[in-house]
Amino acid sequence: MQRICFTLKVKKDRLAEYKEAHAAVWPEMREALSAAGWNNYSLFCTDEGLVIGYLETEDFEAARAAMETADVNARWQAEMAPLFEDMDGRADENMAPLAEIFHID
């Protein structure tokens, strides 16, 4: 199982909107993520808009590829795109995993 952690930056003045959207993630988006192998997926954020994402998956590149083919993901990414700072393309295309340096197990 791969543990993936990544960061993104939401515009501070759009953070409330970002949080609101994630309080009510579309059921079909949740289903697509689960079907694609995005397990234990969590998002955290600071008051300044730094978003830290975490998920567990068997194969991150395969999980990303599966979401790329999901129509619901294209719609979700289009809704979220204006909320991010300094981003070329979609948020899911800008997820660069951080290097894991410690895990207790």
Q: What is the pLDDT of residues 80-95, one digit of tens each?
A: 999 999 877 778 888 8
**Residues paired with 6 in a beta bridge:** 53
Could you state, in order of their start, the residue ranges of all structural domains in the chain?
Answer: 2-93
- Which CATH number fits the domain 2-93, given the four candidates 3.40.50.450, 3.40.50.11540, 3.30.70.100, 3.30.465.10? 3.30.70.100
* Three-state SS at 2: strand
Query: Of 3, 12, 19, 22, which is the active-site residue?
Result: 22
pLDDT beyond 80 at 70: yes
Give me the phi and psi of 44, to 5 degrees please. Answer: -130, 155
Q: Mean per-residue pLDDT for 16-38?
A: 97
Share of the chain above pLDDT 70, in %: 100
- 103 classed as catalytic: no
pLDDT at 36: 97
pTM above 0.85, yes or no: yes
**How many angstroms separate the CA atoms of 56 and 48, rounded?**
26
CB 12 within 8 A of CB 84: no
